[in-house]
Amino acid sequence: MQTAPTRAAASQSSAQSPIQSPAQSLAAPSLVHTLLARRRRLAQQIDFPVLLWSGTAKSRNFAANIYPYRASSHFLYFAGLPLENAAIRIEGDQLMLFMDDATADDVLWHGPGPSRNDIAEQIGATAAHPLKALADLGQGVATFGEKDETVQMLEQAMLQRSIVIPRHGVRSNQTLEKAIVQLRMIHDEGSLAAIRQAIAVTVSAHKAGMAATPAVLAKQGIEAQVRAAMEGVIMAHDMTCAYGSIVTIAGEVLHNNHYHQPLSAGDLLLADVGAETTGGWAADITRTWPVTGKFSSTQRDLYDVVLAAHDFCIEKAQPGAEYADIHQIACQIMAAGLVELGILKGDPEALVADDAHALFFPHGVGHLMGLDVHDMEDLGDLAGYAEGRGRSDRFGLAFLRLNRVLAPGMVITIEPGFYQVPAILNDPKNRDRYAQSVNWERLEQFADVRGIRIEDDILITEQGNEVLSRDLPTAASAIEDLMMNLKQTAAL
Ligand code: GLY
Ligand code: MN
Ligand code: MN
């Protein structure tokens, strides 16, 4: 068995980066205290021991050439460190760590790292053992149905089983999954401190993208160069990207992962880029800016419609609010704005009832965010949808990822958008169904808008909400001013 190199854990204890993160001044509660409080909250919901695996690095063509490793989010929540090839056993407030110390070969190739006992101390483990001890100490535990094949093999070999055990007449993984969802959905001080760090770095990355864009345009450069400026900031803070960055002039491709297109005057650039801390906590921010630094009048008109939806949804993101109602508000404002611009025809409410707005806004207005950018979607809709609720098959609602009552401590995104997706707009069925609802000639006048999305990260509080990403402006004129200021600063 390959020994856990714990490279990432080693970086946690290494000297501080010389690059000052805007977030480094934020005080985070102690890791040991945070993890103990999480175990205690879990113990209020379940009465059986749990084993969580970190996962293993996947190799490409030979063992030492690995894909970027990412520990399981459920493991990270209770272990705090991105360990490789490790497991933790939680029972009540007790934490047992299982991992092997580095071999001489590991040290030769990866350098020295903290020992198992060092790591146990960092995370407040009450005991620490090599992996083989799981053969005894891993019996009778509840586990998730693991997707990671190496972990499945380990479970089979060490626990003599690969399936979860039933308890209380319910499959214990369901009970466990629901308990973990309840915990992870309501953020504690430790997770909020980390999310704030990821957001602060992401705000800096977006500003770097805005600063780089006019120069990339002047050199007839491509999207990849703006992406590099943005991700460079994330890398310089020793963070990674929480998801594949979207940096594109083809904003209508919702999850575009190509970066080869040249920028041309008149383009809008849509950048959906988010940092992830070493502990795995995400940010998820989108801004759309004109590559010249100035919106055209048509771009600005549509931008202001999306911004109105964004602002009003944030206002309504309060404890006790139904997230599905907030999505509905976004649809209404989009429809009303498009009627005002002459793109849609008729009564906004009736247009929304007929899903006409979804021609231009085909996705949900946002999702939960935390250790995963779409938090806990590895569990399907267990986290996103309240018990008894399921996805709608209506056009525009099928992609709604969150449908529950908002509560203090949740972190959500609000991310309305306007897109001209050829596959939707040129679909003969849509042309027919919405023949009377869309002024197609008028729409042609907005050809310089391919995609606009404005996305912020919102913490629901007892009193209302806090826009965690508020340091990055959203108003069209504020973006123009920021780009101008960034350009002037660069010229100094
Ligand atoms: N970054 C992916 C999303 O906004 O959902
Ligand atoms: Mn998002
Ligand atoms: Mn996003």
State the pLDDT at residue 10: 35
Q: Relative to the alpha carbon of 363, which ligand is closest?
A: 1
If asked whether residues 279 and 179 sit together in one domain, one would say: no
Looking at residue 5, what is its pLDDT? 34
User: Do residues 348 and 203 both lie within one domain?
Assistant: yes
Q: Which of 138, 169, 185 is the last residue of a domain?
A: 185
Domain co-membership, 336 together with 399: yes
- Rounded Cα distance between 224 and 116, Å, is 41
Q: By C-alpha distance, which of 367, 373, 358 is closest to 385?
A: 367
56 within 8 A of 235, measured Cβ to Cβ = no
Q: Whose atoms come closest to the Cα of 256: which ligand? A: 1
Q: Looking at the CA of residue 366, tell me the nearest atom of ligand 1.
A: 5
pLDDT at residue 171 above 80? no
pLDDT at 442: 97
Is residue 334 situated within a structural domain? yes
| CA separation, residue 473 to residues 175, 293, 331, 467 (Å) | 42, 14, 23, 11
Contact 318, 464 (CB under 8 A): yes
CB-based neighbours (< 5 A) of ligand 2, an ion: 284, 413
- Per DSSP bridges, beta strands 127-129 and 94-98 are parallel
What spacing in Å lies between the alpha carbon of 372 and ligand 3's midpoint? 12
Q: Does 349 map to a domain?
A: yes
Q: Which helix (H) or strand (E) holds 205?
A: helix 189-218
User: Which position has the higher pLDDT, 13 or 75?
Assistant: 75
The ligand that comes nearest to the alpha carbon of residue 399 is 1
Helices (H), 283-391: 297-316, 323-340, 348-353
Q: 356 alpha carbon to ligand 3 midpoint, in Å?
A: 24
Pure H helices in 125-188: 134-137, 149-159, 172-185
Q: Answer whether residue 1 shows pLDDT above 80.
A: no
CATH value at residue 315: 3.90.230.10
Tell me the pLDDT of the chain averaged across its residues: 91
Q: Which of 185, 213, 236 is the last residue of a domain?
A: 185
Residues with CB under 6 A from ligand 1: 243, 272, 284, 373, 415, 455
Is 296 within the bounds of a domain?
Answer: yes
Has residue 133 been placed in a domain? yes
pLDDT of residue 28: 62
Q: Point out the least confidently predicted range of 2-6, 32-36, 373-377, 444-448.
A: 2-6
Distance 385 CA to ligand 3 centre (A): 20
Res 163: pLDDT? 52
Residue 97 pLDDT exceeds 80: yes
21-32 pLDDT, tens digit per residue, is 444 444 567 999
Instruction: Evaluate if residue 209 carries a pLDDT over 90.
Output: yes
**Which of 169, 185, 201 is a domain's end point?**
185
Please give the pLDDT value at position 164. 54
pTM of the model: 0.92
Domain assignment present for residue 7? The answer is no
User: Are 151 and 197 in a shared domain?
Assistant: no
For a ligand 1 pocket test, name from 234, 402, 455, 456 the mutation site with the most ligand atoms within 8 angstroms of its C-beta.
455
- DSSP state letters, 230-256: HHHHHHHTT-EESS--EEES-TTSTT-
Read off the CATH number of the domain in which 89 is found. Answer: 3.40.350.10
| Atom of ligand 1 at shortest range from CA of 415 | 4
Q: Work out how many domains the chain is built from and give that number.
A: 2
**H or E stretch at 466:** strand 465-467
Nearest of 124, 139, 116 to residue 39 by alpha carbon: 124
Hey, which of 415, 454, 457 would you mutate to test ligand 1's pocket, going by the most ligand atoms within 8 Å of its Cβ?
A: 415
- Closest ligand 1 atom, residue 374 Cα: 5
Please tell me whether residues 128 and 230 are part of one structural domain: no
Same domain assignment for residues 209 and 352: yes
Which residue has the least CA distance to atom 3 on ligand 1? 284
Judge contact between 15 and 191, C-beta under 8 A: no
CA 358 – ligand 3 centroid, Å:
18
Q: pLDDT for 458-482, tens place per residue?
A: 999 999 999 999 999 999 999 999 9
Closest ligand by atom to 243 CA: 1
> Per-residue pLDDT tens for 74-90?
999 999 999 999 999 99
Residue range 354-370: mean pLDDT, rounded? 97
Q: Virtual CA dihedral for 473, 478, 481, 487, nearest 10 degrees?
A: 20
Query: Hey, whose CA ends up nearest to atom 4 of ligand 1?
Result: 284
What pLDDT is attached to residue 161? Answer: 61
Question: Which of 234, 241, 243 best tests ligand 1's pocket when mutated (most atoms within 8 Å of CB)?
Answer: 243
Query: What does the DSSP 8-state code read for residue 286?
Result: E
- Are residue 120 and residue 193 in the same domain, yes or no? no
Domain that holds residue 276: 189-491
Query: What is the share, in percent, of the chain residues with pLDDT greater than 90?
Result: 81
Q: Contact 87/132 with Cβ under 8 angstroms?
A: no
Tokens of 249: 């002039």
pLDDT at residue 7 tops 50: no
Output the pLDDT for position 88: 97
pLDDT the model gives residue 165: 52
Residues 119 and 204 in one domain: no
pLDDT at 103 > cutoff 70: yes
Query: Ligand 1 center to residue 438 CA distance, Å?
Result: 28
Residue 97 and residue 86: Cα distance in Å, rounded? 7
**Poorest-pLDDT segment among 9-18, 103-112, 346-355:** 9-18
Sort 408 into a burial class: Cβ within 10 Å, 0-12 / 13-18 / 19+: middle
Tell me, yes or no, whether 212 and 113 share the same domain. Answer: no
- Predicted confidence at residue 25, as pLDDT, reads 41
* Centre of ligand 2 from the C-alpha of residue 90, in Å: 32
CA atoms within 13 A on the CB side of 323: 27
Which ligand 1 atom is nearest residue 453's CA? 4
For residue 413, give the ligand 1 atom closest to its CA: 4
The reported pLDDT for the residue numbered 157 is: 79
Cα atoms found within 13 Å of the Cα of residue 79, Cβ hemisphere only: 32
Pair (253, 333) in one structural domain: yes
In a domain, 267, yes or no: yes
Atom of ligand 1 nearest to the CA of 242: 1
Q: Do 196 and 178 lie in a common domain?
A: no
Atom of ligand 1 nearest to the CA of 274: 1
* Most informative mutation of 231, 234, 272 for ligand 1 (most atoms within 8 A of CB): 272
Would you state the structure tokens that stand for residue 142, as one six-digit string? 């509840």
Q: Which helix (H) or strand (E) holds 457?
A: strand 456-460
Whole-number pLDDT of residue 488: 81
Q: Is the pLDDT of residue 416 over 70?
A: yes
> In 3D, which of 113, 134, 117 has the Cα closest to residue 126?
117
Q: pLDDT value at position 4?
A: 35
How many angstroms separate the CA atoms of 313 and 326, rounded? Answer: 6
pLDDT of residue 27: 54
